[in-house]
Structure 1
Amino acid sequence: MIEIERKFLVTSAIFKKEAISKTRIVQGFLNTDPDRTVRIRLKGEEGFITIKGRSNKTGISRFEWEKEISPEEAEALLKLCEEGTLEKTRYEISYGKHVFEVDEFYGPNTGLIVAEVELDSENEVFTKPKWLGREVTGETKYYNSQLSKMPFSEWRTT
């Protein structure tokens, strides 16, 4: 139940041509405390509840528990979430031995495109696509829970 992932900014829309899937996501947070973030997500026609713990010092690893719930349950729980629901499209791109998840945000986070890659270990080597930009792993302002409170459109500098 430990999630190991690295996060990067995306430098061009080329990734869209390489995508093997594309899914609309709406998510909100019942709790945004860094020690126990509780997320509700509608991903296409599926619902999920996810609990994440605090990231380690590098920001690469943290506890994650996720359970599928019905779309109706997710919709009901989204109504209880803190202010700041996120909307995004997730593209999955198979590259080398990994699948990159690229999130293109909408609403107050329009203009932000972030890629994540899940790894088996913190030191795992992986091939980076050309459209992968600066690494932002561990920069909390890029966490979805923080984007719900301080959206990209309100940042003074990126």
Structure 2
Amino acid sequence: MAKEVERKFLVRNDAWRSRVSRVIAIRQFYLSIGADRSTRVRVSDGSSAKLTFKFGSNLPERDEYEYPIPLDEALSMQAFAIGSLIEKRRHLVSHGGYTYEIDVFTGELAGLIVAELETPDHVPDAALPEWLGREVTGDQRYSNAVLALSEKTHSTITALAS
């Protein structure tokens, strides 16, 4: 089991783009979503897959269990998905000894950009990069599980990102 401290932020500007070390194409979907738990399947770059269980509602800290699964099994599980498929391009950016994951959503959620910082500890606000905007860690509207269940239109998502 791994405890994770996950903080989420909107992105203020494009200054992070020049520091990207890697980009990963992600397609993910949920098999179950509850108030304090979720089961997710994520396919990365169309070549590998993971099954993830998250427990707890005490944001930003939750229990997370993640396991690699065969790609063909992951793809077949999509038939049991709840809600919409989440599609995004994850950009990895290093700053201050931490790796930030900047998710640029595509598909139905195009226009939304969210930065995540997952660490075993809490990073002080003074150590955060200047290109981060408003923190949305406790705002469930930005949870991937909630976004997958959402019936929001493109214009509503774009308004959320503003």
**TM norm structure 1:** 0.90
Counterpart residue number, 2:108: 108
SS at match of 2:83: coil
User: Partners in 2 of 1:74 and 1:154 — Cα distance?
Assistant: 31
What is the Cα deviation at residue 83 of structure 1?
Answer: 2.5
1:32 aligned counterpart, secondary structure: strand
Deviation at 1:125, TM superposition (A): 2.4
Is the Cα contact below 8 Å between 1:55 and 1:138 reproduced in 2? Answer: no
Matches of 1:53 and 1:154 in 2, distance apart?
A: 31
Q: Please list, as runs of the form range in 1=range in 2, the aligned pairs for 1:36-115 lying within 5 A after superposition.
A: 36-44=37-45, 45-56=47-58, 59-115=59-115
Hey, what's the Cα distance between the residues in 2 that align with 1:117 and 1:22?
A: 16
Q: Please identify which structure carries the higher helix content.
A: 2
Deviation at 1:79, TM superposition (A): 2.0
CA offset digits 1:107-157 (Å, max 9, x no partner): 2211110001122224x3262222110000111110000011124736385
Mapped partners of 1:17, 1:131: distance in 2: 12
Q: Kindly report the root-mean-square deviation, in angstroms, between the aligned alpha carbons of the 2 structures.
A: 1.7
Which is worse superposed, 12-21 or 44-53? 12-21
Could you list the structure 1 runs, at least 4 aligned residues long, displaced by more than 6 angstroms after superposition. Answer: none
Q: Which has the higher strand share?
A: 2
Q: Distance in 2 between matches of 1:148 and 1:117?
A: 21
Aligned-partner Cα distance in 2 for 1:51–1:27: 13
Overall identity of the aligned pairs, in %: 34
SS of 1:12 mapped into structure 2: coil
Unaligned runs of 5+ in 2: none
Distance 1:53-1:154 versus aligned 2 partners, 3 A rule: farther
Give the Cα–Cα distance (whole angstroms) in 1 for the partners of residues 83 and 140 of structure 2: 18
Shift of 1:21: 0.4
State the alpha-carbon separation in 2 of the partners of residues 88 and 140 from structure 1: 18
Match of 1:35 in 2: 36
